[in-house]
Structure 1
């Protein structure tokens, strides 16, 4: 996978909540840490505006990133992100170093395609229910997909799509399936539409009135 994301970062020595608040408030930067691999954990900071722009792209969350720390490039993935609970802006970011020889475990989003034209919807009048929106995968960094497609074309009414039904890119495994068949959870299903209670009550009332 090509590296499409680059974040400029600076190393930092000040730690603690007070230092982090000053960093965010006075310099418009977000504190973070890079860890993993053979190197020691490194405290860093990134520009708030640059990070917010990158976070607008879904692929940023499941992509190999290039962190340019004090001019030196490091390959990493976003491992954890903390946000302000009220305003939603990022307040701290954790990055995990990666290399081509070691597998990583990441959450990858699901993209559901061909829902409107699926057999169970278009021909049989069903409605699609999504059970999960992302899956945890294990793979080498260069095999990490930005998303996994769930093709609903041939799914019929009352059918369920399970994890084992997903078509995975080469070299990618689902961690849940590695735990055994009992963990083959449902991803999506097509069910008959539910009649809303209010509509049923209205129909029942109309029938009762016509009989009086």
Structure 2
């Protein structure tokens, strides 16, 4: 289970329709709606500055929130749509869906690296590249993993870690149906350049040998 599900504070919006929504925006709020589950849809207002700050952090539509509305029980929600002003690109309305404990949702889960300090490839000067510092998984709302881990023990330069190398928590699966790369250990740039130079010299030498052999055959004829 994730360590903490972020709180999202809102107030119940009185009145419906365009008039109430415009008034909310004049008051520095963004109107929204909470739907789904067994309860009726709940119109809400969210503080504009707090919402924009959340949006700037990214992954807003794939983050599970604990919605707190005065006079109502806390409920877990996920954003399903953010409507924006076509000119200013600022939020004008937000739709949230209630989630039950057994609901399946897509979330980005952070990747933790183990044994980075002992990996042979890194000790030799290799460079760790995190291709996916987060992995999108299908998870159960009531049992969201805080992280997944990859183990670099024994990995050399040129080795990769793919999703098939990861033991995923029960009830979760990747959203991508292929064995994608999460991280790799590559040679340092200086070593790569030296290897490419050596390969180039080898190709030149091979060309020279081939040219010499062809010349000798021509002399024999």
1:206 is aligned to none
**CA distance in 1 between partners of 2:14 and 2:115 (Å):** 48
1:189 is aligned to 184
1:11 aligns with 2:6: no
Unaligned runs of at least 5 residues, structure 1? 202-212
**CA distance in 1 between partners of 2:20 and 2:100 (Å):** 31
Q: What is the total number of aligned residue pairs between the two structures? A: 190
1:14-163 alignment, distance < 5 Å? 14-15=16-17, 20=21, 23-24=24-25, 26-51=26-51, 62-68=63-69, 71-80=71-80, 82=82, 90-100=91-101, 102-114=102-114, 117-163=117-163
SS where residue 142 of structure 2 aligns?
helix
1:205 is aligned to none
Q: Could you give the per-residue CA deviations for residues 114-153 of structure 1, whole angstroms, max 9, x where no partner exists?
A: 5852515531211122222332322322201243344445
SS where residue 73 of structure 1 aligns?
coil
TM-score by length of 1: 0.66
Residues 20/105 of structure 1: CA separation in 2 closer, same or farther (3 Å cut): same
**CA distance in 2 between partners of 1:81 and 1:156 (Å):** 44
TM-score by length of 2: 0.63
Q: CA RMSD in A?
A: 3.9
**CA distance in 2 between partners of 1:88 and 1:165 (Å):** 41
Residues 133/4 of structure 1: CA separation in 2 closer, same or farther (3 Å cut): closer
